[in-house]
Amino acid sequence: MDAVLSAVLVIGFFAVLALVIFRARTAREYAEFSLARRSLPVALIFASLCATYIGPGFSIGFVGRGFQSGLVFLCVGLAYSAQNILVGLFIAPRLRSLTDCHTLGDAMRHRYNRACQVLTGVISTGLCAGLSAVMANAAGGVVEQVFGIPLWLAAILIAAIATVYTSLGGLKSSIMTDALQFVVFSTLMPMLFFFVLIRDSGHAAVVFSQQMADATTAGFESMSTVEVVGWIAAFLLGETLIPPYANRALAAQSSRASRNSFVLAGVFSFLWFTMMISLGTIARTVVPAGTKEDDVLLSLVQMTMPIGGRMLLLITLISVIMSSLDSLLNAGAVVFTQDVVKPLAGISEETSLTCGRLATIGIAILAATGAAAVPEIIIGLRICYTIWAPAILPAAVFGLWLKRPRVLACILSMVTGAAAAIGLQIVQYVWPATRGVPPILPALAASLAAYLLGHILAGFQERR
């Protein structure tokens, strides 16, 4: 009976998902593939933003961190929430107001020049490939535990499924499936939270409080102040304007819709992080000590939920991870086509659509290949964040706000920031004794200094 119920739930969920994909239809033009014709309302943008970030890092990863370090990572999550709200108030509307923009690279071309667009496209494509590998690893890990399929094969299957509907339907297909997955997952996870909380209601509050205090104390003792600051900086800046978010800001039907979507997503993320950290703390009374961080949520579900609810939750968890993956695949394909191929090759709109679909497949292959190399979900995210923030943010933010941004400042900042972030992470990997300072902090400082230097030198040349 349990097997029949599980099969019905799985088939039913994926049947609904297939119906949504069918309703989204195949993209017939590049404008539809890349930005869904800039026609998406607040509700869809909000749901898609939330589905993108509540994937593995902010569900599996944060439950595991709550299990290990209590409220320490709630501070990190709050930094991400603040970033979403700030982007909604000050950056997303300004980005949406730019005309004829498909990507952040297009905005860089508007504010600087074509060379800056290409450089942004190369960095953005690499980031999407790296984050896609993290998502493929997370989804593969869930499939491996639930169905016993090897990680490498599970990652390939997940990447293949996401590639099919993303390459055909483009951004609209990605956002519509994201919205469905967000609604289901954001309903089931609170149910799990309250189910676990009341299963032993006699002394749940006392045990929960004690476990929260113990985990938080252990978390602060295990990290220095500089490390905590580094984590906060990574989550405050590391996902700011990454390609999936920039594309959603540009795809909104108006600047107001773009602003409201990000602000609402930031408010929701605060509630989400609080629940995930709390789940991780509650899991300390159920899940054996020493459980691997990325396995805590799955172990908690398997040890507490009835078979039907467990299977539906796990299948939804796989699908919501896929929503993060499909967003990255689409965004990576669009930035590669729009910011690298089109400026260098000058291809037509029809050829751009074909190029975007092929790029989706290529990035998916890279993600499936690199999935096995990801150490932990949170660590994988931090590596990507550490490169993105110094390489892109100073040039992008100053470019959007300065009256006369200068090309030399942009190029120096991006090259210096990317080189410093990659180099410092390699040094810390080779020589563990150098790991005292999180690399995002000196890399960001180097990027800002390079931008300032380039701005001064370019201004001096103009005056001459």
CB 229: neighbour CB atoms within 10 A?
Answer: 15
User: In this predicted structure, which of 160-174, 214-228, 254-268, 373-387 has the lowest mean pLDDT?
Assistant: 160-174
Q: How many domains does the chain have?
A: 1
In this predicted structure, the answer to whether residue 463 has a pLDDT above a threshold of 80 is no
User: In this predicted structure, which of 10-24, 51-65, 419-433 has the lowest mean pLDDT?
Assistant: 10-24
Q: CA 67 from chain center: how many Å? A: 22
Confidence of residue 8 (pLDDT cuts 50, 70, 90): low
What is the Cβ-side half-sphere exposure of residue 411, based on CA atoms within 13 angstroms? 12
- Choose the most confident range, by mean pLDDT, from 9-18, 168-177, 360-369: 360-369
Average pLDDT of the chain is 83
* pLDDT recorded at residue 43: 85
Residues 278 and 272: their CA atoms lie apart, in Å, by 10
Which is more confidently placed, 132 or 464? Answer: 132
Q: Can you tell me the mean pLDDT for 326-346?
A: 90
Residues 281 and 222: their CA atoms lie apart, in Å, by 17
In this predicted structure, the answer to whether residue 5 has a pLDDT above a threshold of 60 is no
Classify residue 398: in a domain, yes or no: no
* pLDDT recorded at residue 419: 97
Q: Please enumerate in sequence order all residues whose Cβ is within 8 A of that of 117, keeping only pairs 6 or more positions apart, or say none.
A: 105, 106, 108, 109, 339, 343
Classify residue 294: in a domain, yes or no: yes
Domain containing 341: what range?
A: 2-374
* pLDDT recorded at residue 429: 87
Classify residue 161: in a domain, yes or no: yes
Classify residue 444: in a domain, yes or no: no
Tens of pLDDT along 99-115? 778 789 999 999 999 99
Classify residue 209: in a domain, yes or no: yes
| Crossing angle of the two packed helices 243-251 and 42-53, in degrees rounded to 10 | 170
In this predicted structure, the answer to whether residue 384 has a pLDDT above a threshold of 90 is yes
Q: 3-class SS at 40?
A: strand
Percent of the chain whose pLDDT exceeds 70: 88
- Asked if 329 and 356 count as a contact pair (C-beta separation under 8 A), the reply is no
* pLDDT recorded at residue 393: 93
- Asked if 48 and 320 count as a contact pair (C-beta separation under 8 A), the reply is no
Q: Can you tell me the mean pLDDT for 279-285?
A: 85
Tens of pLDDT along 154-201? 888 888 888 887 776 666 666 777 777 788 778 878 887 777 777 655
Q: For position 59, which CATH number holds?
A: 1.20.1730.10
Q: CA 309 from chain center: how many Å? A: 27
Q: Can you tell me the mean pLDDT for 388-404?
A: 92
Classify residue 153: in a domain, yes or no: yes
Classify residue 30: in a domain, yes or no: yes
What is the Cβ-side half-sphere exposure of residue 346, based on CA atoms within 13 angstroms? 0
Per-residue tokens: 41: 């309302």
In this predicted structure, the answer to whether residue 345 has a pLDDT above a threshold of 70 is yes
Q: Can you tell me the mean pLDDT for 203-228?
A: 79
Provide the whole-model pTM: 0.85
Which is more confidently placed, 188 or 458? Answer: 458
* pLDDT recorded at residue 191: 80
- Asked if 303 and 310 count as a contact pair (C-beta separation under 8 A), the reply is no
* pLDDT recorded at residue 7: 59
Classify residue 327: in a domain, yes or no: yes
- Asked if 386 and 440 count as a contact pair (C-beta separation under 8 A), the reply is yes
Confidence of residue 26 (pLDDT cuts 50, 70, 90): low
- Angle at the Cα of 343 from the Cα atoms of 338 and 345, rounded to 5 degrees: 105
